[in-house]
Structure 1
Amino acid sequence: MASAIEVESADVVRLVMQFLKEQGLGRSLSALQEETDVALNTVDSIEGFVADVASGRWDAVLQQTATLKLAPEKLMALYEQIVRELAELRELATARELMRSAVALRLLKQTAPARFAHLELLLKAPAFDVRDAYPDGSNKERKRADVAAMLAEDLSVVPPGRLLTLLGQAVKWQRHTGRLPLGSRLDVFRNAPPARKEEDDLPTTLSAGAVSFGSDSRPTSVAFSADGAHVITGSHDGFVEVWDAETGALDTRLAYQSSDELMMHEDSVLCLATSDDGAVLATGCKDGGIKVWDLAAGTCLRRFPGAHVGGVSSLSFTRDGTQLLSAGSDSVARIHGLRSGKTIKEFRGHASFVHVAAFAVDGGQVVTGSADGTARVWSMATSDCVATLTPPQSSATASAPIIALAVLRRRSDEVLLLPRGPSVFLMTFAGAVVREIRSPGGTMTAMAPSPRSALVHVLTDDRQLRCFDLESGEEASAAAAASEGDVLGLAQHPRRNRIATFGSACGVRLWSARAAAAAHHGASASSAGAATAAAAATATGAAAAAPSDFVSTAGGVTITSGDTL
């Protein structure tokens, strides 16, 4: 096994110091040196530094030594020689000011008063005499050479931009090994795609492209990647594929897709979820198994065979990405530890299929929706049911199954519930109905709230995509025809006005609120695989899962003094 490489903390500090120096952040550099007691002591060229001393270019020498940590005796010798040469040039006022203000010369006065007094006599003399200045028989040139040799002992030369070069090499290696999050830009500090500002919520009913599937394949689940740059699909034949969210083309920049080594299950992929950092994908199968994937590399990191008896209907990651919440047709929701590979919690109590499960915004509770017509709120700490939510029913004899729910990020104490029927309900965790949103036509079959929780988009069984205002409950735009065939579900982009819908006959369609998106209309790609899932979940055989700088170039990777790549 390869031995570990140890990096001294002082070396890390020096990398930061070099970066500060190159960026002209002198005060920050001085503060870091003082606080850590670590010296940078590097120059661009030792030969150049020695030449500056030998030529008496003291302004350049002092500029470089200002950021160095040198022995007091060496600094005193340097300043002593500078005062001698100022005396020779009869720059007496400058020399006296240096004698008063330079820390090294004040130290000379305390530790070697005779040497300090000798300098004072040189400044008081009516004329400069080499024999008085160098009583040991030396001269200016030899003294300069002695000072240069003395200072050079403590100096080293390192290539410029070491911090950025190392970052570039690390990023290149992560890209080579498939460990980088998907996308062409990277927030180096977070090791994730750079956060993108959310758009104001707008009705998203303008067709903006498509992903087409072959005659032998159809989508059963779809989700957007965490950065929204990709649409991930799962199909009835078990394939999982990653598509460009703008063009609808298969992303062949992923090595495993370009070589046809796709992620896959043995049966239909019913649900998908990505971790918040976008690095990990979870997929749930009709056979009850769950797989966890490195999304950039396409490798399987963890398997949970038989996680449920029957199909897995819903998946959701904890915020830190260490645990995975699943729901299934065995009427149970479970939490699985990704490190241990074991099921660590179970939430039992529903009388029928659990179609969807999601974490509350604070992560302290789990909300589940079931075919028994109820949603339940569970304590993460105890696994106990703390509340049961029952939406108003249109029938006195039967409870409509809860086929989708969504916990609202900007309404942390409220949840959207969709029982199969004409209405979606906004309810509190205590069970109170805040608002009923009723479709003017068709039974709602899937839903997803907008990124800022101002709107909710729904699909109806008459194949319409509709948008409603959550505050007023009114329809926010005209309905759009979602498909000529059955429409199974939809997924909402995490930050933009962009939606993906999927169906058995229509593949995946992309929708936008911007007219510019119409330029992508008709873009398509053939696939062995399929689509679904988002911030809400459906029961129609598919579930939605929650959702002028210094520049260094290293091996084709360019990093600037900003923190994105």
Structure 2
Amino acid sequence: MSLEIESSDVIRLIEQFLKENNLSRTLQTLQEESSISLNTVENVDAFKKDIIDGNWDSVLTTVLNASVPAKQLGDLYEQIIVELIEMRELGAARSLLRQTEPMQLLKARAPERFLRLEHLVSRTYFDIKEAYPDGTTKEKRRQAIAKALASEVSTVAPARLLTLLGQSLKWQQQQGLVQPDTAFDLFRGTTQVVKAEDDAVPTKQYSLIKFPGKKTYAESAVFSQDGQLLATGSVDGFIEIWNYLTGKLRKDLRYQAEENLIAMDNSVISLAFSKDSELLASGSTDGVIAVWKVATGHCQRRFSPAHSQGVTSIAFNKDGTQVLSSSFDHSIKIHGLKSGKILKEFRGHTSFVNNITFSADMARVISASSDGTVKVWDTKSTSCIATISPQTQVDVPKGALNPIGGASGQTVNNVIVIPNNPDQILVCSKTNMLYLLNIRGQMLKSFTHDKKSGADFISAAISPHGDFVYAVAEDSVMYAFNISNGALVNELKLTEAEIIGIASHPYSNILAVYDEKGQVMLCKA
């Protein structure tokens, strides 16, 4: 449900602000250019009393700054002229009668009333019966004019524009659309992100997103890089943007409020936000990539197909002009967002490429594959700089076979560049081990829960400052490790269902874990 706001009301709010800040010339110009008058008084009752009491100087000052219909304005000026004649202020009466616009309009539209006033002002005496015919009186005329003019003006509370802006921000805070205790750019409508939180391990679930039906669930999830949004891609192709603080759909996005969700034709198995969080890229099981404008839901670019098989992972470059993708078809590609063409292609993996990322300086592409290796590629030349087999550096039997087809070791699920230490990467493989390596492939540390079976890691994430490693495993437990000493610091059982993946917030100690039963579990420290 959307709220419609009249543009004229917005202009009046601005005019009220100008009036209160004594910007009279700007106010007058805006009223003339827009043909919209403020038509406000500080107190309607006081305005009516001025008319009833005949305080015409005050009444005329108010009316001159308002837009009053010609009929009511003519009635007002007519009454003032009659009263000036009664007080024998004939010079002032003649000036109002012959030199003001309302009286010239009266002369054109009601010449008999104008001639009656000319006749009254030329008399050497005042005839009350002629001035107030048909049994009316001065008091009745004032009452009628007061009632008519009061209906044309209104009262606005002081600082109305600023009050509404404050109320809007408060509502957005309550809805989780604006983060509390952060600076807000009112002009651009964005929150200045401040990395205020020290890393702490999420230990409890605080909210839950539950997909409707038994067959719908999230295949992918990602937080926006400005920390304001959580996006999920579902097995039935829908892409939804959530308020991760409340676990509710973001209804401030009009297309979602109207239930016109953005969607792909097949399961959405990969998602990524651009650095400015204005674009969202999605990859599906049929090899298609779509790039969406988050604010409008408009599809800006579609690569169809980008790969011959499903798009397993996706990422933007820093300026949002290129999209990096990997696929079940063993390939990695860079696509030009403007041209819609493939700009680079990286080949060398012998099985599924499950995850890709740019290095912090964008000079390298790092990939994780089911062939048991991590490869580091030169972004410009597309040549493979290094091939890393993490498990050959620990106690793994030589020649251990990857069940999907590699010979180096078990499937590598994902690889993550460590925040604040871009020379290091975390590797999550389908074992009970996580590995911390440098970009040259040297082993720095490993992490394990020491369970021998039924608890291989599925996916991993890193805390905002890189102090903790989080990983979800086949036993539906989320494990947390201290990255400095490798110690297991927490285990959190989240669900009885099979966990699909995990996403970490870029600035807060918040994690999103999603399972095959249609649940997205939101956890915090």
Q: TM-score, normalised by structure 2?
A: 0.62
What is aligned with 1:465? 478
Alignment of structure 1 residues 120-135 onto 2, 5 Å: none
1:85-132, CA deviations, whole angstroms, 9 ceiling, x for partnerless residues?
Answer: xxxxxxxxxxxxxxxxxxxxxxxxxxxxxxxxxxxxxxxxxxxxxxxx
Counterpart CA distance in 1 for 2:502 and 2:467 is 17
Counterpart CA distance in 1 for 2:231 and 2:459 is 18
Give the total of aligned pairs: 343
Counterpart CA distance in 2 for 1:446 and 1:406 is 10
Alignment of structure 1 residues 44-193 onto 2, 5 Å: 187=185, 192-193=190-191
Residue 414 of structure 1, aligned match among 424, 429, 434 = 424
Counterpart CA distance in 1 for 2:320 and 2:326 is 17
Alignment of structure 1 residues 91-490 onto 2, 5 Å: 187=185, 192-215=190-213, 216-393=215-392, 394-396=396-398, 397-398=400-401, 399-441=409-451, 442-477=455-490, 479-490=491-502
Q: Which amino acid aligns with 1:200?
A: D
SS at match of 1:211: strand
Is the 2:216–2:518 Cα contact (8 Å) retained in structure 1?
no
Counterpart CA distance in 2 for 1:274 and 1:506 is 22
What is aligned with 2:523? 511
Residue 470 of structure 1: how far off its partner (Å): 0.7
Cα distance change, pair 191–303 in 1 and its aligned pair in 2 (3 A): farther
Counterpart CA distance in 2 for 1:404 and 1:411 is 18
Residue 188 of structure 1: how far off its partner (Å): 6.6
Is the 1:192–1:278 Cα contact (8 Å) retained in structure 2?
no
Residue 225 of structure 1: how far off its partner (Å): 2.0
Relative CO higher for 1 or 2, CA cutoff 8 Å, sep ≥ 6?
1
Q: Which amino acid aligns with 1:226?
A: Q
Q: Which amino acid aligns with 1:321?
A: G
- CA RMSD after TM alignment: 2.6
Counterpart CA distance in 1 for 2:280 and 2:462 is 21
Q: Which amino acid aligns with 1:453?
A: G
Is the 2:462–2:469 Cα contact (8 Å) retained in structure 1?
yes
What is aligned with 1:138? none
**191-200 or 239-248, larger mean C-alpha shift:** 191-200
**Overall identity of the aligned pairs, in %:** 34
Residue 491 of structure 1, aligned match among 494, 500, 503 = 503
What is aligned with 1:534? none
SS at match of 1:392: helix
Alignment of structure 1 residues 502-541 onto 2, 5 Å: 502-513=514-525
What is aligned with 2:70? none
Counterpart CA distance in 2 for 1:491 and 1:410 is 18
SS at match of 1:223: strand
Larger Rg computed on CA atoms: 2
Is the 2:369–2:412 Cα contact (8 Å) retained in structure 1?
yes
Is the 1:206–1:512 Cα contact (8 Å) retained in structure 2?
yes
What is aligned with 2:111? none
1:433-465, CA deviations, whole angstroms, 9 ceiling, x for partnerless residues?
Answer: 000111233211110011101101011111101
Cα distance change, pair 379–201 in 1 and its aligned pair in 2 (3 A): same
Counterpart CA distance in 1 for 2:203 and 2:502 is 12
Q: TM-score, normalised by structure 1?
A: 0.58
SS at match of 2:249: coil
Is the 2:198–2:465 Cα contact (8 Å) retained in structure 1?
yes
Counterpart CA distance in 2 for 1:443 and 1:417 is 13
SS at match of 2:227: coil
| Stretches of 4+ aligned residues off by more than 3 angstroms | 43-46, 182-193
Counterpart CA distance in 2 for 1:412 and 1:331 is 26
Counterpart CA distance in 1 for 2:524 and 2:282 is 26
Cα distance change, pair 263–213 in 1 and its aligned pair in 2 (3 A): same
**422-431 or 432-441, larger mean C-alpha shift:** 432-441
Is the 2:193–2:227 Cα contact (8 Å) retained in structure 1?
no
Unaligned runs of 5+ residues in structure 1 are 1-22, 24-42, 47-164, 173-181, 514-565
